[in-house]
Structure 1
């Protein structure tokens, strides 16, 4: 049984790969990839052989150099054997520097890859280009993201030149092991969807690298294994300059001559399959649903026939929630090297964006014979010993009692179970004692060298490092395991007992008390000796739509009525629904068009110039089944919003409260939220201009930063505390004017930015100050901390989540290090696009001592001079 548990644990460890996190050096620089695994088509000298093609290394003559002048028609290559199938996401190159004596480098290169070293494929980006820009000098590292990533064991870099020249290269590859083991899948070709009134959606597998014959894809991998998860609306894509429907592969019911889509999957070796995960669209009101059922057959070997008994699975169809989702199909630990699955239609269309498999590394025979009288055809090490019983030759002389083997088997099983249980109990007691005595393990090495790119190309240069951030000698990142107590957030109540001893001298940094948060006076910071966790005070402070609600000191709502609302009642029938932006426990947020709103509000209304088009607005709506407390909270939120009047704060325009459901109507910007806007753009350059790529300039980013600081300065002047400042809560119009909003929490798109506590409250812990997480204390100073993280988001172009390589529990542990202030806390790294003076300003926002953080007035005055008027 313990053996089985270990296999289950191993199977669960093989999760879906995220390209944004799968960015680890694979071993060229640090030597894990050994010399014999690096070969080349030729070399100029022995001292410029392929073994010297290691990034940032200067052995030999400093790089790999192919023989002679490289001609435009040449195909010289540097080949690396990674030793196993690898999910490759990033390539880094350098020229030959050779301690300032070299000057050779490659300006461009192509990339070929292979699973087996025999069949080679050429990489091309999502727009079909095979050539990548490389270096323009001999010493600076250039990092290139692979969009799409590739799955391979062998990689070849082929330098490209437009004229005869000498070329030398150094190299590092980045990615992570491909535990999935899938080497190819075959499927029908994706199809066109031409719905009336909507854009044409091309649902083909555009990055497939196998054969295309007779509308059938075979022998390759593509979008179903690139780690990109399609969105709820299949017409909305995560890439720029691609067509609607790009993220999905889809088929129409009836077009294939059957009621199902048949796909075949081939793997690198025999595996015991535990489950298959299929990410499927479910936009049912557009005729798209997850599959109704699936039937999977198995082959133990490629030359064998399909086994007679397939695995059948029927899904539970959902006609209420149109969100895309993963469907997990249990595969019953069947042993195979190939699978054939038939996905049956539930509606007109079926669309997949990702398919992954979970399996145990150790192959266990599907059919196991309990009694063996002849040698087993497999190696004994591949069988669990609990299933092997060798018959004694003398047994024929003993009485034949049919019940004896059954009784013995039951007794042995019971004894084994008792042994395992006793072992687990003793082990748990030992671990608990060790944890009580040993100091808490911390993240001893800080993350400083990062490969999260704000564009496809990064110039790796060492930025000024603040005093508190130390650099690691190793070029890769490490995250240590955490104390198991951190798996339970409630453990934080007792995790930091020293808080109660030093809180009076360190935690009372000023700010404004929340309506529901324990008051903090100079003489008494706590009402008990044990610090309270933030959940106890946040549950009641979140808005009825699940969104954040501004915290205002001394605001009472005992007798809120319609006369307390200073905005006008808007005719409900003039609100035309466009899409649902998000939802919470008692309400929803909708994007609507408001007919005649400019005339209704009159002159001076804070509305963008729509050129005669309907005005877009965000409508928060209270559900009809909401409680009386929720209704009061909704009216409280209206009263708070009606007090806000600033060009950089979202404004309440009107309400619909004369009848149910209660609604509030606020501004909404054409460009949506800042996070989505920046993540779809690159930094302005000649390359973006030449290719018409959406871009922003450094001046644009500074202008955005100043506007956010101005809006927060206004809130601070009213003693308002936002508590959820982030780019997802900043809306942007066509003129790059920013309005700070508050309904990011309700949107499914950003659900991963929030940490759920005991199934109730959700907290944006990656943006929260240490005192907010550990003490439940929210002040203007904690908003300043969040502003620093928001600046970091802006100058990374929102390409990565803050502390992306730390789990939520590790982020919480890191806040404990901020409290202890022993130099072990981990800070966010300096963005490549960020001027050093601006990063110093971010670091001041993350000061451990609340009183030492800058004010929003000071931040505004510090940022304003950098913006060109």
Structure 2
């Protein structure tokens, strides 16, 4: 409490300092509120498009994070060569200062695969003149999306001042495009629509030239600048030394527009400002450079004329600032405009020295409030309040005593208000935190219930969930951080992928996906815009699902089956390893297997002896989809040839039940193997227990990384990587399998809802649980948990001190990223360098996690 009180005493000093500091009216770093596409504040009638593929992909469905209709705006792509014909247009109804844009593709619950890899933006302030946006280097094309679900946020440098904005996907006809968009910024309170001024000039210094032109002006530039806005309204104030620049890669003088006295016989520069309507102007702020050592000074005098209708007022307003030859700092000069009513202002700025340099000019009118600092709790449509200096109702009292008393009273009120706000925020923050936790828990329960009903595991698609709808009472949603590559969605929970509810059907979309159609019919009769490029395969045990890109599927399964039919009579059943919804897994001995396998594979078994194999058997009553998926999986498995992946040896498909015969390692799974061993050391010697060295542990972990590197290169996502799904052979050979879920032995490793074991939550990444996203990056997370198991000799379940519900709650802490998440502790045998690798695998941002190729290389380096 004392710390907060001390903070509250310090805050008034900051407030007083800010009151004396004049800043730009719009701060691009703060003006980053969502303008209403996601929240629905922008109405459907204000969203239009050049065309639409169907009624279900109309412009109104182009809302960021929305999944209405068919999930996005999709234009009707024609064969015409004009690749910028199509556009999605947003009418903001008034001028806005736009600093950021966000785009998404069409996800549609995992069925979509259309997004814009590149796009351009056009904007207009009046609907008649359209301007092509260019960045500060003159480039028009903006990098778009790389997939259908991530939000790509791009900073507008320079920002846009506009009422109408068009997103124009760059279409090359090699793929269809769909877009969901959002604009971020704030209302443009200046109302300025253009300024006309002489073109900026070049200053020739002894060492180098300084270019003082308006490089981002969006009007016409010949000898003068007309009908546009540029650097004088971009919210960026220049440095004290004008040869420096705030802008990365900006040249000397970039932040300023400047003129030389010798070029103007009248000794002044005339700038005319046009506004959106007649306004009551209280003041104008001009940011000037005053580096007098370079013969640069602020203006000596300004004379302003006002036009309300068609005629200019006969009596101008004149203002002369105090000349300053002691302080070379750049500064804002405030010109009081005495509540003149005008729709245009024309000002002559008179030189005080050889050069005059401006970097920002802003206007205050009516009783507008200014976006200078971020509000602590922004309300819908509001911005921070003005300082007394900017308030047109503030009047100066000539009595020094009254001024002093007023200031003291104001300070006291500010102190009291700040203390109250601090106390209120503490209470409110606790209430919000409890509420958010309750909401998160409710949504998690609902999400996990959906998964338990419909989800089946091991190998699946690299397919995330879709963004869920979340109501917000706030008109604006602030977007931070400011980085252009920020990709995380702003919503809390995303919908999970949809799977068939009927337990009679396989938990797969293979039947629909294999059709590879672009149009299907829904209940309302509207066509769906869909390109099915994902092939899902029901796993043979009924508990597995493969899902890979169709291109990869074609490459893997384009040939005939290259495995032999094996006589069933030569199989001797030894043990039932597990079972699933559509099949079973049996441990068998196979006689004469050497005669049926390919020549490129040698069994490490003496000739004539039976081979230990795992037989995946599809039940004879399995439906047609499951049978088709079984045969497709055989084709794919026959192509998987990696020393660290369980290999398909033979099949039995000429009669029911269909069987797939794979390798089985003599030492069983890695979990059971390590739990029977101890680390090398004195304790193991005293107990006469079997030991495994640290080097052997690293060797096994390296093999798992190698196998996953191979799977990820084929776009396979395992989804259930753990020691229970790794088999151990001679000399610590490891091969990755997928039997774990079907075994009752490991039912405790899966989170149960309504009596079904469905989710290995202790191995799952936060985005897999909360967002339904399963990618190679989520496999990397599971790999680190598997590595943790190995280094603990599988003596302990991950997060053994937490209940399943607490594990899920901890996942929410990873999402909130408030430094309260619990990580698995460093195992005793684990060196710091290896634990650092594990922590990198558990990074919140999936893009920051290492690849399996990097992990494999790092594990090789760690081996003794």
User: Fold match, TM over 0.5?
Assistant: no
What TM-score do the two structures reach when normalised by structure 1? Answer: 0.44
Larger Rg, first or second structure (1 or 2): 2
What TM-score do the two structures reach when normalised by structure 2? Answer: 0.44
